[in-house]
Amino acid sequence: MTAITKITSNKIFGGTQKVFAHDSKELGCSMRFAIFIPPQCDQGKAPVIYWLSGLECTEANCIQKSGIQRHAAEHGVIIVCPDTSPRGLNLPGEKDSWDFGEGAGFYLDATEAPWNKNYRMYSYVTSELIDVVNANFPVIPGKQSIMGHSMGGHGALVCALKNPTLYKSVSAFAPICNPSQGAWGKKALEGYLGPQSKGLWSQWDATELVKSFKGDPMELFIDQGTADQFLSQLLPENLINTCKDTQMPTILKMREGYDHSYYYIATFIGEHVAYHAQHLCN
Amino acid sequence: MTAITKITSNKIFGGTQKVFAHDSKELGCSMRFAIFIPPQCDQGKAPVIYWLSGLECTEANCIQKSGIQRHAAEHGVIIVCPDTSPRGLNLPGEKDSWDFGEGAGFYLDATEAPWNKNYRMYSYVTSELIDVVNANFPVIPGKQSIMGHSMGGHGALVCALKNPTLYKSVSAFAPICNPSQGAWGKKALEGYLGPQSKGLWSQWDATELVKSFKGDPMELFIDQGTADQFLSQLLPENLINTCKDTQMPTILKMREGYDHSYYYIATFIGEHVAYHAQHLCN
C-alpha cells in the first residue's frame, strides 16, 4: 500500500479538510491531494466526489475558494482534489508556459517524449489515486463521481466518457469541451500527443468521445457562465450539439452574467454536490 | 469626492464582488478595498458590514476564502474589506517583518516616526473609508457594523469601543484581545506607539478600553476556536474576564476543535453576518 504523508489538517463545517503527499508510481514524483472527510464518517463510510482543477491550479484552489465543504458536509460525501500535473520533474520546458507542463497536465496520458514517462494524469486520476483513496480513507468502494472546472471539466468528462461504469455521475464547470478546436487544447494535445495527424487527439476530446461513444447513454451535466471570458477556448456548443445529434442526455445550465472564476463556481457548486450525492446515495 | 478605480468585478451569489483602488489622504498611498454589492441593491440601498483582516492579509483573503458573499446576499448587506496596512511607501524596515509594517497596520494611528505620517489605519477605517464607501455605493449612511479576524478582530473591537455610536454591532473571530500582553501586540504597539511607559498602549487595547469604557454597554461578540494555535497571542480570557468585571455584555462562542484559519471562519461567518444583519436591519 502506498504510504501517504499528512501535510495539513483543519476542521471545517464539522468535518476535516486534509492535504496529503504520496509518491506516485504513475507520475514518478511526489504528488499532493486534498481530501475533505465529512462529519458523517465518524459513523461509517461515505461516497466520494473527485474534483479536477483547471490550468495553473493545485490541490488547494477548490478547498480554499469554492466553499465545497459546506455542501459535502450537508450531503455526507468525501471530496478528493488532486493536483493538476506532475511536479518537480525538471523536464525541459516544463515551466515555460502557464498552459502546458506543470499545472497543465490536461488529465491525459502523454505519448510524446519527454512527457510520456510522467505526464499520465489520466491513469493517475482514474486508477492510482482511487486505489490510494480507497486504501486509506473510509470510502465506499465504487461509489464515486467526478467533476471539474475548465481543464478539469475536460478531465472529468474524458475520464467518465472513457470509463462509462467507473463513475456514478459527471459534471463540469466551464469545461474545455472540444480541445481539438481551441488554442489551449491544441497546444496541449500537440505537445503531449504529437500532431493531429497521428490520430490520437480524438481519444482525449469530450466532443469526439461522445461521437464514438458506445453503451448506455451517460448524462453529462454542463455548467457555463454566459460572461465567461474564455468561451472561445471552451466551445460548449460543440459538445451540446454533438450530444443532441447522438442522443446523449445533457443537463446544460447557462448562468447569466457569471465568468470563469471561483466566484462563479462557489455560487453553484452546491447544486453539483447535490446532483452527485443523489446519484451516489441512491 | 475621492476618485475610485475599478480593478475587478465578478458576479457571485447574484451580487457583484468588486475591488477598487483609491488614493488615501489618511495613508498617503494608493489603497485597495473589496466591496460586495448584494442583489438587493438593484432595488435600493443596503447596510454595510466592514471586515478587517489579519496579519499578512490583503483585501483579497476574506472575499476569496470565507464564503461571506453567500450570507451577505441572503441578508441583503454590503461587505467592505479594506487592506491591512498602507502599501508601497518604502519606509525603512517596512517589509522586514511579517508581523509589523506592510500587512500589519494593526488598525491604529501610529505616533512614532517614521510610521506616524502614514500608518493611520484607524482613522482610515473609521472615517476616510466610510466616506469613500458612502459617496460611491448604495449604502444607507450610518447603518454599518464591523467585524474582523485576529489582528482585524482587535481592529474591529478597538474601532467600536472607541466609537460607541459609530457601529450598530461588532464581532470578532479569534481577536487579539489584549495586545499589551502578547508578543505580536507588544511588538506592534512598541513600534508604532513607542514604549509602554509613554502611556499610549491602553488606547489601542480592547481589554484596556473595556476597563475605561464610559457610556451605554456595548455587546461584544467574540468567536474563538479551541484548537487555535495562537491562543497565547490572543488572550480572549483577559477580555472576557474584564467584561465580566465591568458588566460589559458579551457573546462568547468557543468552537471545539477549530483553529485560526479561514476554514474556521468559513464555518461560522454566516452566524456573524446574521447577527450583524439583525442589528442593521431592525
Q: Over the stretch A41-98, which tens digit does the pLDDT of each residue have?
A: 999 999 999 999 999 999 999 999 999 999 999 999 999 999 999 999 999 999 999 9
Q: Report the SS3 class of residue A95.
A: coil
Q: Once rounded to an integer, what is the mean pLDDT over residues A150-163?
A: 98
Number of A to B CB contacts under 8 A, please give it: 57
Q: Which residue has the cell 486534498?
A: A34
Catalytic residue among A109, A171, A228, A272: A228
Per the CB < 8 Å rule, is B11 touching A262?
no
Tell me what percent of chain A is helix, strand and coil, each rounded to the nearest 5: 40, 25, 35
**CA-based nearest distance A116→chain B, Å:** 36
pLDDT at residue number B281: 87
Q: Which residue has the higher pLDDT, A1 or A214?
A: A214
Complex-level ipTM: 0.94
State the nearest Cα–Cα gap between A261 and chain B, in angstroms.
Answer: 8
Which tens digit of pLDDT belongs to each residue from B94-109?
999 999 999 999 999 9
A282 — pLDDT class (breaks 50, 70, 90): confident
pLDDT, residue B1, reads: 56
Q: Where are the alpha helices (DSSP H) in chain B?
A: 60-65, 68-75, 121-123, 129-136, 151-162, 183-193, 206-211, 231-234, 236-246, 262-281
Give φ, ψ of A59 to 5 degrees: -70, -10
Range of the domain at A29: 4-281
CB A176 within 8 A of CB A153: yes
Closest to A154 (Cα-Cα) out of A102, A205, A218, A110: A205
Residues B274 and B65: their CA atoms lie apart, in Å, by 18
State mean pLDDT over A114-141.
Answer: 97
Residue A33's pLDDT band, with cuts at 50, 70 and 90, is very high
**CB–CB of B38/B76 below 8 Å?**
yes
> Does B150 participate in catalysis according to the annotation?
yes
Residue A216: active-site member: no
Cβ–Cβ of A70/B259 closer than 8 Å? Answer: no
Give the mean pLDDT of chain A: 97
Long-range contacts, A2-7 (Cβ 8 Å, 24+): A2/A128, A2/A131, A2/A132, A2/A135, A4/A132, A4/A136, A7/A32
Interchain CB distance below 8 Å, A262 and B64: yes
Q: How far is it, in rounded angstroms, from Cα B258 to Cα A14?
A: 9
pLDDT band with cut points at 50, 70 and 90 for residue B282: confident
**What is the average pLDDT across A160-164?**
97
Q: Which residues of B touch A225 (CB under 8 A)?
A: 11
Which one of A10, A14, A263 has the shortest CB-CB distance to B10? A263
What are the beta bridge partners of residue B30? B23
What are the pLDDT digits (tens) for B45-103? 999 999 999 999 999 999 999 999 999 999 999 999 999 999 999 999 999 999 999 99
pLDDT tens-digit series, residues B124-150: 999 999 999 999 999 999 999 999 999
Q: How many Å apart are CA B280 and CA B79, to the nearest integer?
A: 13
Residue B99 is predicted with a pLDDT of 94
Q: How confident is the model at residue A87, as a pLDDT?
A: 97
Does pLDDT of B193 surpass 60? yes
Q: How many domains does chain B have?
A: 1
Evaluate whether A100 touches A188 at the Cβ level (below 8 Å). Answer: yes
> What residues of chain B have any CB closer than 8 angstroms to a CB in chain A?
10-14, 17, 64-65, 67, 69-70, 225, 227, 257-259, 261-264, 266-267
Secondary structure of residue B190 in the 3-state scheme? helix
**Beta strand pairing call for B29-37 and B78-82:** antiparallel
- Nearest Cβ partner of A12 from B10, B13, B266? B266
With contacts defined as CB-CB under 8 Å, which chain A residues touch B67? 67, 70, 266
Identify the pLDDT of residue B19.
98
Is B32 strand, coil or helix? strand
CATH number of the domain residue B243 falls in: 3.40.50.1820
pTM: 0.96
**Å between B110 CA and nearest CA of chain A:** 34
- Residue of B7, B9, B10, B18 to mutate, interface with A, max A Cβ within 10 Å: B10
| Residue A98 DSSP class | S
pLDDT number for residue B58: 97
Strands A46-52 and A15-24: unpaired
Residue carrying C-alpha cell 454536490: A273
Spatial distance between the Cα atoms of A143 and A47, rounded to a whole number of angstroms: 5
